[in-house]
Amino acid sequence: MAHTLADYLRPDKDAPVSMERIDEVLRSIMITDVEQEGGMTIDETGRYSLGLVRGHAPRRSKAMFIGRAARERWRLENIAALEAEIAAVGQEIDRLRGAHQAVEAAIQALADWLASFPSDRDVRTAFDEAQEARRQAESKEREWKRQEEKAALLAREWKQIKQQLHDESAELDLAFTLDGCEQAQLAMKSYVRHVHELEVLYRETRHTEAMIAQQRERLAALETEIDEAKGERNRLRDETERLALRIAEMERTLAQMGADDIRAEIARIQERLAFLRREIPRLVNERARTEQRLMRLVEEREKGAQREAFARELAAMWEKSFAREAALGLVDLDRSRSLLEQAKEAKQRYEAVLKETRSSLLARLNTVFFQESSNLTEYRASFEPLEEQTKPEWTAAAPDDEMAMKAADWREKQERHVIYLDYKGERATPFAVLAEVERDIVLQHEYMKEQDRELYEDVILKSVGRILRSRIQRAERWVNDMNKLMGGLDTSSGLVLSIQWKPKTAETEAELDTKELVRLLRIDSRLLKEEDLQRVTNHFRSKIARARELLEERGQGSTLHQIIKEVLDYRKWFSFTLYYEKTNEPKRELTNHRFYQFSGGEKAMAMYIPLFAAAYSRYQEAGDDAPYIISLDEAFAGVDENNIRNLFGLVEQLGFNYIMNSQALWGDYDTVPALSICELVRPRNASFVTVIHYRWNGRVKQLMVNDKEWETIET
């Protein structure tokens, strides 16, 4: 059976044409290697025929289906692939841009390093100083070893004292840790509370005993009254019998005497008997109630005695717990006082901490511990639970729920977590380590102060001091030379410029004014007084500390060598001030306001002259055979001829090797002894530029022909 295209393709469900119609079309296309006349055939290799039309489908690495939905999927896949390629290319561009920036930064760093490389003379001076410093360092190293041996001796003595202290405090059963003291403080708080409750319970017991005594007295009184009532009853019974006899006697007598008095007496006796019949049952009931109340009071007394005994045991455990916590040394308490007074002191001092719940404090401690673990790696910090006390058996026999809750509260407070650090081969609490580190810092600080003083004396006042003195003296000579040069210029407007090198004032109380500092540096260090030496030392120490603080505030990291280099840059100790003077006018400081009042030529002179002076100053630090190269674009624009002549004379006087360009300037002035001149000529919009060479010998300008022959152009 022949296959059709319907065996390979399925119509799309959302096609606008019905699926049945598409299926009929697909079934009409045969898939066979035999061509059929009048019909359309396709084989599995991609060849097709339709009447006279024959061909082959384009070869693709991936199959493509026909239809609108298939084309849409293919288009979306291509878009996604292209977007992925664009993203990859963008990432590659970013990577290359970052690499380019890194290379540029490295090139700039190398250029800065090359620019900052010292001259041979400075290197020789530094080498000599380094040799001297090395010899001094060896001497200091020997001194350091002696100090180290002394420190080792002190360390052994300190360990002996520490061991003695540990032996003497071993019986206190109190770890010298923060958790221990906090737990002791919590235990003492509970101890004080239980003591207070014990006092209340004791007062209640005493009150109950007093009430029992009162009830017993009342019971005795009631028993006395009952006995009296019984005696009265017996007496009344006897009296009744006696009265009955008397009645009988009186009845006998009544017959003989009057009966009114006898009847009255009988009525009184009957009334008394009726009262006794009513009172005796009431007294009997009162006695029963008193006996029941007495039994209740006895039970309460026994229960109170049990609570008192339990409370005393619990208070003793709280006292032991507080003593154990105080022994950890986590809080600073007055150990000379009693445990109760220490507990009151801890409660008063840490009342704010006690308001927080145990869970919140533990959560905060965990958070801080994990945050600071990276900073405590060298100490191998560990967060360990403290060994709990053995649970006493009597805590399970609480007399009531209240005491059971208090015992449970005590058991809960025994759970402790302590942070331990490894320091000098021993396990210690952070407080102990902090105290040791602070003591080491103080010792190192005192040692560094002495080392700093020796450094400032040996380096700044001796080796570096000599270089600073020579540089400052050279700068002062340069200022005088520049003022002589600028004062000798004959400008058309009579403008004379001068510079002044002003020493800066101190920025803080610990620093010296530059003038005073230079004065002290110029004195032989062997002749300096101790007070002056200390002032110079404090000055540079303050400068270095302030420079380090400024760099830290700006987030810029810098080495101590860079900071010292910055502080010892003597050029920053002074400020240059430019002055001007005109004919028949006093000397004034050249401010921006006065500069803008100058003419164009005067402005140019005021800019060029200090510029040449500054360039000359920098070239003075170069070697003897180094060229003094400067270049000017549109040189001396806006300056009149006479001033241009003077400026050329200044350039020659300073020994510059210069390259200048200008539209109108030739440079053929009598102040210039020799000059090579190149005229650039471009004929009307030509595609080339012609260079015409001239030579000025100080008197005439000559045209150079064929690099050998010269023709005089003008005189």
Q: What is the pLDDT of residue 697?
A: 92
Q: Which of 168, 197, 226 is the last residue of a domain?
A: 168
Q: What is the pLDDT of residue 658?
A: 94
Q: What H or E segment, with its residue span, contains residue 582?
A: none
Q: How far is 10 from 27, CA to CA, in rounded Å? A: 11
Let me know if residue 394 belongs to a domain.
Answer: yes
pLDDT at 18 over 70: yes
Per-residue exposure over 39-78, b if at least 16 CB sit within 10 Å of its own CB, e if not: eebbeeeeebbeeeeeeeeeeeeeeeeeeeeeeeeeeeee
Pairing mode, strands 3-4 and 30-31: antiparallel
Residues 159 and 188 in one domain: no
**For every residue of 126-150, which 3-state class applies, written as one string?**
HHHHHHHHHHHHHHHHHHHHHHHHH
Count of domains observed in the chain: 3
Cβ(62)–Cβ(38) below 8 Å? no
Q: Which residues pair with 498 in a beta bridge?
A: 579
pLDDT at 165 over 70: no
Let me know if residue 229 belongs to a domain.
Answer: yes
User: Is 0.85 topped by the overall pTM?
Assistant: no
Question: Which has more confidence, 392 or 276?
Answer: 276
Q: What is the pLDDT of residue 680?
A: 92
pLDDT at 57 over 70: yes
Highest mean pLDDT (candidates 347-356, 495-504, 647-656): 647-656
- pLDDT classification of 217: cutoffs 50, 70, 90: confident
Residues 135 and 58 in one domain: no
Per-residue exposure over 115-124, b if at least 16 CB sit within 10 Å of its own CB, e if not: eeeeeeeeee
Q: What is the pLDDT of residue 555?
A: 60
The two tokens of residue 536 are: 């110079």
Q: What is the pLDDT of residue 173?
A: 64
Cβ(369)–Cβ(419) below 8 Å? yes
Stretch 456-476: mean pLDDT: 71
Residues 229 and 345 in one domain: yes
Stretch 40-67: mean pLDDT: 72
Residues 273 and 157 in one domain: no
Determine the structural domain holding residue 280 and report its residue range.
Answer: 169-428
Question: Which has more confidence, 625 or 424?
Answer: 625
Let me know if residue 352 belongs to a domain.
Answer: yes
Residues 187 and 125 in one domain: no
Task: State which amino acid sits at residue 76.
Answer: L
- pLDDT classification of 575: cutoffs 50, 70, 90: confident
3-state class of 3 per DSSP? strand
**Percent of the residues in the chain that have a pLDDT greater than 70, as a whole number:** 78
Stretch 601-606: mean pLDDT: 80
Let me know if residue 29 belongs to a domain.
Answer: yes
Stretch 323-335: mean pLDDT: 70
Let me know if residue 374 belongs to a domain.
Answer: yes
Residues 163 and 62 in one domain: no
Q: What is the pLDDT of residue 709?
A: 47
Residues 154 and 11 in one domain: no
pLDDT at 715 over 50: no
Let me know if residue 287 belongs to a domain.
Answer: yes
- pLDDT classification of 711: cutoffs 50, 70, 90: very low
Residues 132 and 52 in one domain: no
Q: What H or E segment, with its residue span, contains residue 487?
A: helix 464-487
Residues 295 and 225 in one domain: yes
Residues 163 and 264 in one domain: no
Cβ(543)–Cβ(567) below 8 Å? yes
148-164: pLDDT as tens digits: 788 788 778 877 776 76
Residue where the block lists tokens 């260079």: 691
Instruction: Kindly report the average pLDDT of the chain as a whole number.
Output: 76
Let me know if residue 666 belongs to a domain.
Answer: no
Cβ(660)–Cβ(667) below 8 Å? yes
Task: State which amino acid sits at residue 38.
Answer: G
Tally Cβ neighbours within 10 Å of residue 611. Answer: 12
Let me know if residue 189 belongs to a domain.
Answer: yes
Residues 177 and 150 in one domain: no
Burial class of residue 538 (count of CB atoms within 10 Å of its CB; 0-12, 13-18, 19+): middle
**Stated length of the chain:** 715
pLDDT at 714 over 50: no
Cβ(567)–Cβ(540) below 8 Å? yes
CA distances from residue 59 to 26, 40, 46, 594 in whole angstroms, order as listed: 22, 20, 8, 84
Residue where the block lists tokens 């030529």: 601
Residues 311 and 394 in one domain: yes
Tally Cβ neighbours within 10 Å of residue 275. Answer: 9
Task: State which amino acid sits at residue 385.
Answer: P
Burial class of residue 461 (count of CB atoms within 10 Å of its CB; 0-12, 13-18, 19+): buried
404-432: pLDDT as tens digits: 777 777 776 666 777 777 877 777 777 77
**Alpha helices (H) along 554-595:** 560-567, 592-595
